Chains A and B, each alone.
Chain A
């Protein structure tokens, strides 16, 4: 399925340096969510270079990246593994391949669109409704956070909503 074109595209989006990867694993072992990933960031880069598009795009790892950039800071070859993740997300988006967690991002963006910011409580609630499995731990944590005043029920409001709407419109027109 056009494996080579896939490699070229990721390289175009994330930089030529990817070709110089020595598979040392500095990225994966620097990664705070590596233990949750099915393929480590290092392996993801290997999959990209091998043109194994289906495996790379199906990988959970793409969606578990927290963008902390430690991989990118530490890579001895000057590769930006985070940029690889972003590139893969972009390709997934275009090709309609969603991870099981894409619903979260959808809810997240919907809230931004309607009120300009997110409310932790509403966001968690909406997510819990769609993922009943996750509901109990979310509620447990939510109660704890509420009792300590770490989250608020009132999302508040932002000025310049029309500006935010314009950004969404422009993005969608692209």
Chain B
């Protein structure tokens, strides 16, 4: 049975996919063609290969024809590779003895107008797949034990929810919070929509539960400094900053120490509306209930230390480093409020009576700076008229935030109601563009606000001006079609939510990618709402975009359950598609060490790959000057075989061989297919895990065998799935272009393109452009012929 002893026996299955493939490609001809390929012992065309019937056909063929490997020519491997791997495993083959030819997303769907050329291209794709399949080896997945502890970063409501669920399920949790107390923004709000129940009343018990739970180690006033390792074993280093109060001694009475403190500073927990002392407690319900000294404000007078009955103030307290070994990490780093002073026309920071949503929350809060009164900060008098201005820093491209912050409509509806209930005679108006009240009970909440007599004015406010007797708001009532001006005592800017800048460090340590709106990107915008791109890392709450409390809690629980799924078994399977080193060839040059984005390679005498850490990008294999590093899947010989098969029959001019990275460009090419974006048939795409995998020898081999051009496409710069693989690809391509010039080949025959998974149109356009460029250059070798004096080769 050893494939090395006798020729491989391969089965090829060509899918009709109903008419998705069969309407454009001549599947019968493809089947006849596949039958002629070396090592193929059976070829079939099947209506729906992924159906039970289709899969059963493959299974019975494996038994009947004693197949060693299977080629499925159907949709993208990104869709059904897992399906068919399962199929062949059930029939007794190793799951890695499968290769797919992408004849749907990258052929039939993108060449609907040229069936003949598309069929020719599909033949090449099948021949390439068979060539690779002939060189496949069984790979064994290894299981390794993992840490069952989980790190939760961020102690807002999402982090609290995640920590409690994990702890209640029996996993040990480290909850790391940057500020002196957990609770996040929710702890500072007044009543919350849509039920108008008191925010801290529903949150405080959860905060206390976190503190009391023996499975949760709470680390407040702490930051993460370094994260190494991978899923199952993240080694985390962090630091707990000194609060200059011994948490084991402090009784949380706070009055004793803070009443003697002579320093008053604006209270950041009141968003600078009120004042606090240099020794302070963030909120009365702080968890842990321990005072903290603000070193920026403290003058070191020593009065608090004298006053403390428990002797808890310790001026010599040091920061403490901690190290954790966790199996999974939940990122719940939350959001930051939009800086309202950036909208200069609204006067925040200039006019005292212009405040933000968060400030009005504190004003409405009975424990806040005004004890629940709605006052004009300039005079301290009760505000008789209040305007809410919506979409401040949201839906606004002038400040770079085109997105809707999702919660501000409801927050203003709620605050307007609270004000109207407290001051029935007050004139309360909401200036809005659209009211977005799309949650359960939200529209009813809107209805309630209207019934209370709140004035809804449709039109975005263009500016706020301060007059002698109040604030003047300029707007167009777009329903009346009139530009108007209205006077108010108090203006509340309904500020949007932004990605938390303080979380960028954590994001960089983990290698999380960010969306254009700067929030962390989840693995799939719909199907994988709490997973990061990095194995073992989950994202919950506003770290991945603005969310209301209810959704943040749900996401905290969802992330916890994902972490449980991962860690409960106590072991995880390692992907065997990693790099390995041929020790006889290795010269110990360390080039691979510098190249590896996962820091998985170390060198003693020769290089060594830590397989648990290796992500299989293959950048090292391409970089190795003596070809001592090889990939277990996507090996040099497999890729070279694909190149040779692609160029065996050069059925088209210009003829392009493309190397597309699995995560972005190949996905982009798939998207071009699902979007039915049409482009020329001239390209034969070879999937690699990363653009950094492309060895210069691949490019040279393709050109030598008659390809007119080679395309290398990867993730956009800064968005590489392996951090820097595309940069290595770029660097290598530049050197390679110099080399091509040297040997007399036009360097424009090598094209490098960056394209996100969402940019199918860009990829299609790049291919189109390249075809045109190559047409201008002429067939490969034209330049060599032109260089000869006789004009002949």
Contact = CB atoms under 8 A, between A and B. Distances in A.
Query: Are the chains A and B members of one assembly?
Result: yes
Interface of A: 22-31, 34-35, 39-40, 42-43, 70, 73-78
Nearest to A41: B476
A25 B475 CA distance: 7
A26 B462 contact: yes
Q: Considering residues B391, B434, B477, B481, which has the most beta carbons from chain A within 10 angstroms of its beta carbon?
A: B481
A40 B477 CA distance: 11
A22 B459 contact: no
Nearest to A38: B481
Q: Considering residues A23, A31, A73, which has the most beta carbons from chain B within 10 angstroms of its beta carbon?
A: A23
Given A24-B478, A76-B396, A34 B460 contact: no
A23 B478 contact: yes
Contact of A22 (B433, B461, B477): B433
A31 B483 contact: yes
Given A23-B478, A34-B476, A76-B460, A29 B483 contact: yes
Contacts of B458: 25
B397 A78 contact: yes
Contacts of A43: 481
A25 B397 contact: no
Q: Considering residues A24, A35, A43, which has the most beta carbons from chain B within 10 angstroms of its beta carbon?
A: A24
A32 to B, nearest CB: 10
B398 A74 contact: yes
B674 interface: no
Q: Considering residues A22, A29, A42, which has the most beta carbons from chain B within 10 angstroms of its beta carbon?
A: A29
Contacts of B433: 22, 24
Contacts of A35: 483
A55 to B, nearest CB: 13
24 contacts: A22-B395, A25-B460, A25-B475, A26-B460, A29-B459, A29-B460, A29-B462, A29-B463, A29-B474, A29-B475, A29-B476, A29-B484, A30-B462, A30-B474, A31-B483, A34-B483, A40-B483, A43-B481, A70-B462, A73-B398, A74-B398, A76-B391, A76-B395, A76-B398
A29 B345 CA distance: 12
Nearest to A31: B483
Interface of B: 345, 391, 395-398, 433-434, 458-463, 474-478, 481, 483-484
B463 A76 contact: no
Contacts of B398: 73-76, 78
Nearest to B345: A74
Q: Considering residues B345, B458, B478, which has the most beta carbons from chain A within 10 angstroms of its beta carbon?
A: B478
B25 to A, nearest CB: 37
B459 A24 contact: yes
Contacts of A23: 478
Contacts of B474: 29-30
Contacts of B459: 24-25, 29
A76 B462 CA distance: 10
Contacts of B396: 76
A115 to B, nearest CB: 38
B487 to A, nearest CB: 15
B767 to A, nearest CB: 24
A97 B475 CA distance: 31
Contacts of A76: 391, 395-398, 460
Contacts of A75: 397-398
A74 B396 CA distance: 9
The 4 A-B residue pairs with the shortest CB-CB distance, nearest first, are: A25-B476, A24-B460, A29-B462, A25-B459
A2 B463 CA distance: 38
Given A22-B433, A43-B481, A28 B476 contact: yes
Contacts of B395: 22, 76
A165 B434 CA distance: 52
B397 A77 contact: yes
B233 to A, nearest CB: 47
A109 B414 CA distance: 57
Nearest to B394: A76
B482 to A, nearest CB: 8
A139 B140 CA distance: 96
B614 to A, nearest CB: 44
